[in-house]
Amino acid sequence: MDTQDETSPQFHFYASSIADWRTTTETRDLRALLKIMDKFGYDYNLFFVPLPPASSYKIKRYEPEVEGAIWLGQFEVKGKK
């Protein structure tokens, strides 16, 4: 039995702006991801991606190309650059 599959998340969050992109990982939760994106100083989009964090997939126009991915909204950063 593979215990890693049982304890590893089967989804992650993907955030992207015009300057950068980041995802949640085994060690970076959603709160940490949002904090990082806010520090960049650019508005960003957030997506729910129904794949484990280490998965590979294509990105097109700052969006994940994954069946079942859900756009959760655009976050406006206060005190933009």
pLDDT in tens, 2-23: 444 567 789 999 999 999 999 9
pTM of the model: 0.86
The pLDDT tens digits for 35-68 are 999 999 999 999 999 999 999 999 999 999 999 9
**Can you give the residue range of the structural domain that contains 65?**
3-75
44: in domain: yes
32: in domain: yes
21: in domain: yes
81: in domain: no
Q: Is the dihedral of CA 70, 23, 34, 4 positive or negative?
A: positive
d(CA 77, CA 12): 22
Q: Count how many domains the chain has.
A: 1
10: in domain: yes
β-partners of residue 44 are: 75
pLDDT at 5 (0 to 100) = 59
